Structure 1
């Protein structure tokens, strides 16, 4: 993705971005490069002050610039294969200048600085690892890049180039789809002139990914009660599987889960509609994305399973917690088992910022009085349990009689039909009575009466004509 100088100046430092003064010592810069290579990779802008964001440029000190360019080779062990580019700019003194952009790849190897210290990127900091953490990271580096391994028997014909084009448009890449696949992320490589299509390429852009990875899918199972029963006592009431490319799986899974989450809608004392949910929307999305993004795709015997009980959701994902992530540090520690898949999902806004999702999820659950997710490993399956915000009868009360006259009162309990009409209007303000009738299975005359009641009560209003107008929720 191409950025302007001003966009880089405004970019917050974080897991995958840092800016450094031209005066930084190569030994200090090496720590940042090592930390990014050991984690998710990233971009470093040299020539912009990290404290004041003043554009210094790099042209004025050629000798020091050469030392900086040699940092990945002279101060990183083993050498890190960065790529560099010079962006023209005007420095703070008004002179024509350049800033140096260093692109650091996420590396399958463990890297250290010259003093044999290993660093790890945590948010906007480069943290030195303890011996035990370093050892664990060294072990996990061996499994990390299964996404780069060739998908057996896959050819270029198995790639949906329209899906590649859609992603290129998303990230602002201007070349052809084939050039993107060959020049970026190792999606398409060659061995003895034979194309090698990577696992990540098939999972993200494949026409039929399940032809190569049959269990790379999500299965949703809903149970009656709070326990999973089998045999004569089997209590499964829904069993749905979602396949396709990773983006399709995530979208379908989240959309379906939303239909299964219980809600209670009511009018608050401020006269506005309020909705209490079993699970916050962000929690549903984050848990689904984490499962699909961080699963171990080398485990081929099972799929991701999401199990819904009366009191909790359980996300069962093949693979243990990756890297140095542990149950006691998961809230603030990040490691991508599949960094290319994670970067792809970030472009589609499913990953906001590496490492922030679990913390935000815990805060949202705490805000509704629900405990943090619980993680435990059973064999090779990581199970994450999210507890429901149990909604009690009578919770959905509206304004009291003392505060509003009788003529303005709305029933204490908004009917499921009225709530569904409101949701349909939110999704499509131009929706017609016949469309609402079809989607809800109600006679059109019943829909007409309910719409009239909602207009009379000031809940909605019609803007424009019956044919060309639209509904507005007041």
Structure 2
């Protein structure tokens, strides 16, 4: 098989040699044993994916200073041993790509390997499991670590775990009564639960059963099944106690009731907020579909094995929804709108059977959330992974650059100040807005209004008559 050879510039070579090895990138000399290389490949696949460059030396001079140098394979055939081990680790041909890099000014070809986050658990050629953490390949040795990795990959789910909890609490709950009345009138609750494997091992309820059908699942699953709601009166990057509008609110109950209670509360709190724009002071408006879909996604896809609540933080310029657990299996922030994978398939499937199901369009919720933001000409939500959670940020920030928004405002107003432009753009930093003003002054689009300084500073369209 012919492998693609990509020619790169001297500047690209320079940048490659400066790469800092870490969670997503590693550099190896051509002498790396193929078997040893599988540790790094498996570790990347079991974590978040990554890239390996084979053909980069680390050299130390007589003064003890280290540097990197390019020393690739003399021919493609010289890398056959490495390529064959790739096929062993990824026998179906997916989840990895490779190419050779070459430069006219350097010797040999560097083998560049891209590894995706794998849907399954990969073992190195020594039979051991590794996971990437920073620049290290850490062995996964304990049974608990293996179970956690299986849950992360979606091979197993905490929702199927059983809890020593009276089954009568779910069989006789009010939410079960309503569900059975409207959906399954011909079945007894207990018989239907057993058929759905919500009761197993004789008489034990699963985590999914408790979350879906217990009126107060927090009794059986404390510290891992609630929602905390905060309102911060600030646009700062972080909220603090002094910015809290009121004590955090705890929202409990079944997952179905939690979703609707949380969405109603967020919509209500946001509706009470004000923002300044070209029409003056008005209510903040986020699409209710966006809030609904992102809260629903957080509740039904969170990792319930983690002892933490979902955190919803409402700031002056944004709403943050933080859900415990990283993205499952092969899902990443980059492909989350296109790929489908459910950490809690039972919860996702059964909550869809409820009247007015919160996840009506299964698998399309986040796409709906993004489309709703576009319809109001607001920027798309931003999804990111933290060490043990997923954060979705919904900003009240208009499409278009801050410079464009500033000039649009000045079409209908005589002046603009830092506070107003921060409110218009959703940018919380005063210094960032100052840089916007300076750029516009530099291109002679605006000027500082003479005689105004400090908090009274303001800007107007360029006239050429202003003094700094």
Length-normalised TM-score, structure 1? 0.49
